[in-house]
Structures are given as structure tokens and as C-alpha cells.
Amino acid sequence: MAGEPFSITVGELARRGRTDIPDHFVPACHLIYSSPATISYNSPGALGFGVKRAALVIPESVMLLVSPDGCARNSTVLSSEEGYADRLFYLLMSESDLVTGNHLSKIPEAIEEILSVCDPAPKVVVVCITCVDALMGTDLERVCRAAQERCGVLVVPSYMYALEREGRRPPMSAIRTTIYSLLERLEVEPTTVNLMGFFTPLEPTSELFSLLAAAGVRRVNQVSAARTLDEYRAMGAANFNLVLDPESRAAAEDLRVRLGMPYVELARLYDPERIHHQYHLFFRGVGLRFDDAPYLEQARLACRRFAERHAGTTFAVGEMCNANPFELSAFLVSLGMEVRAVYSNVTADQYPLLERLAAVSPQTRVYAGISPTMVGYAEGVHVDASIGKDAGVYCPDSVNVAWNGENQPFGYQGVIDLLAELSRALEGGAA
């Protein structure tokens, strides 16, 4: 049925530069192939944290999804598997609703019915609308204000507009703004910091907590760790926000403008020397004490041991993991590993990390999971190990470490944990 899948060396990608990215990597330029490995990319809500599950990170909340039947289908499976089925409600649209907009007038009554069956009653109802309302120009904020007045519960608007995925406010960026939209500025506590970026907590063993504590930070808030709405609201007292995922930048900027909360960005990296450099810049920049030497040394030791035992191991790295695939690949190459393939979408933002990989391993091939040519992919890449759920599908004869657990790895401890998991997998233990 199909010819060869498109791929290109990372060296060639770097040479072409960010203004000449091949069409295969640009979703707007071709039909999108929903390869089994890339389902989560193609459908933002399809696997793991899509808009729906993400919004429910607001404590004591439920969601009312107002949409055609098709938009809600994945929730049937995911909400059952991930345990939030009791917090998700659906108001399905009919074709006449498309013409009359009648579905919007049903929202207050629907919320009342939901409140009547929930025990305990939620304090927040997140109303989510989808592409059809984007096209109809629905003013959901007005609808939610009216519903809030009638129902006596906080009603928050949210948007799952897949049509705007490459726009200025992609759904996963917009939902992060929604999540923090209920915060109000409280009296500032100088020793309190919010971590923004992930929908599940940072791995508690990450040295970031210890470094912040040693610098005098007494309280670190994460929305995913808040059990009550009051705990969530306490985030409004933070001195500043620490943004750990670039998709939270818009939310942090919204809090800066709206509440005067400053923010600083830290990237999730795997190269210990770069982690050290980033910590150095951050702590010096905000004027806090800082000594990461013991943690850096532990990470270096883990790297040396891994390199000694596994030098020359061949890898494939995907994008469905808790890492940037290009940064992670460059790190693996620095340890003496060979990265034969990267399966990832390529955007201009990724070029600094992509160029780093190109500098040390220009022959690494990059596959565009969303390219229609991937329908002809026939497990042609043979490697010892793969990282990421998608890479595991593309390289079925490899040892796979999915590295996409719920708790988010970060910093030196993230490196140590990843190498330990890779070692276990390569040496025959459970991955």
C-alpha cells in the first residue's frame, strides 16, 4: 500500500535551519497520520493528560463537557482507567443545537442536575466546549457567569479547540491558564514558591525541593498536590512562580499581568552539566543561596557507571516520554551511546536542542510520526533500547523504557532515576 517512510538526518535538519523545516514535520502541510505510536499527539485529549483530565486537577471540581458525542468518546476509556469517571459529565449536542445554540441554554439546568447527584457536592464546575462552538463564536464566559449566578457554584469556562492547535492559544496551553484562573492575589509570603507546568506532582525525591529549602523557601505549592480548593487558593500567596514546562508560560504570564506574580522558567534537562548551569543561573538570578555540589557529584557518578557498563548501546528516542527527545538524545550520545533514531515532531522552538544533537550525532535519523508516509513504516530501525512509549512501538524488538510515569522527574535525580531504569531494563530487569 505504501512506500518508504520519510526520515532525515538531524545533521541535515540543522543545516536547513528552522525556517526550512521539511513539510513532513509541519501538521498544516499534510494529512495527519494517527500512527499507533502518536495517538496522544494527534488527539490532544486521547491519551494521558488531555484538556479534560488536566482541568480536573482543580481540587473539588467536576467537568461538564458540552459537545458532539464524538469529542467525548475517549473519556469513556480514559476516565475509567485513570479513575476520574465520577467527575466527568456530558451534555451531548444535537444537530439542531448547531443551528439554534440551544445547548448553551441547557447548561445551568445541567449543572443543577449534576449538583443533585454528586456527593460531596463540587465547589467548581468546569464547563468545556469544543471545535463547533469555536466556529459558532460562543461566548462561554457569559454563559458561565449566568450559570454561576443561578447555581451558586463556581463555573469556569474552558476550551478544547483542536482547530487552534497551532494557533496562538493551543488547547493545552489554554487549559493551563484556565487551571490557574481562580487564583486571587493574597498577601505575599516571601518564602513560598509555586511550581507550574505539570498536572501531576514533581517526583518528591527531586533535589529541587532540597535546594529550595536550603535557600530559605519554606513552602512549595503544586496545583496537583492541592487536595482542597482552599489549598489551591493558597497558591495566590506565592512570591514567584517557577515554570517547568514551556506550555505553562502563557498561564504564568497571565498570573504576572493579572496578579503581579513574577515567574522564572527552568527547563527539564538530562545533561548534569547543563542542569548545574541552569541552577546556577536561577539561584544567582533570584539572589538565593545555592550549593548543588553533592547532587551534581551523584549524577556524574551515575553517568560514569552507566557509560562504563553500556557504552556503545544503540538507542531510539521518542517524544512520548518525560523528556525533550533531542536533549535526551544528545545526553545519551555524550555518554558514549549511539542514538540511531528520534521519533518526534520538529518545531522551530526545538532548534537549540536539535542543533546540540546534530553537533554530536549528525547521522541520527529523525522520523515524523505524523507524516502520511509513516503508514509504510515497517520496523526498519533496530536498536538495543528505546525510550518513550512511541519509540517502543516503532522498535518492537528493543528493550523499552516508557519513561512517562505520572510523577514528574526533574533535575539530577531525574537523570539518576532514568539511568537506573535503563540499566535495569538492559540487564534484564523489569523496565
Using CB under 8 A as the criterion, which residues of the chain lie in contact with another protein when the complex forms? 1-3, 27-34, 36, 39, 42-47, 68-77, 79-81, 85, 88-95, 98, 103, 106, 109-110, 113-114, 117, 130-132, 134-136, 160-167, 372-373, 375-376
Query: What minimum distance in Å lies between the beta carbon of 381 and another protein?
Result: 17
Cα(245)–Cα(265) distance, integer angstroms? 8
Query: What minimum distance in Å lies between the beta carbon of 399 and another protein?
Result: 20
Nearest CB to another protein, comparing residues 30 and 219: 30
Query: What minimum distance in Å lies between the beta carbon of 308 and another protein?
Result: 38
Three-state DSSP class for 152? Answer: coil
Cα(67)–Cα(130) distance, integer angstroms? 6
Nearest CB to another protein, comparing residues 54 and 333: 54
Residue 271 in grid coordinates: 545533561
Query: What minimum distance in Å lies between the beta carbon of 67 and another protein?
Result: 8
Determine if residue 198 is left, alpha or beta; phi over 0 gives left, psi from -120 to 50 gives alpha, anything else beta: beta
Cα(340)–Cα(319) distance, integer angstroms? 15
Nearest CB to another protein, comparing residues 5 and 411: 5
Query: What minimum distance in Å lies between the beta carbon of 232 and another protein?
Result: 25
Three-state DSSP class for 60? Answer: coil
Nearest CB to another protein, comparing residues 153 and 202: 153
The letter for the amino acid at 210 is S
Cα(307)–Cα(305) distance, integer angstroms? 5
Nearest CB to another protein, comparing residues 62 and 156: 62
Nearest CB to another protein, comparing residues 67 and 413: 67
Residues 367, 343: contact at Cβ < 8 Å?
yes
DSSP of 179-216: HTTT------EEEEEEEES-SSPBPTT-HHHHHHHHTT
Query: What minimum distance in Å lies between the beta carbon of 421 and another protein?
Result: 24
Residues 44, 209: contact at Cβ < 8 Å?
no
Run of H or E residues at 57 = none
Nearest CB to another protein, comparing residues 170 and 201: 170
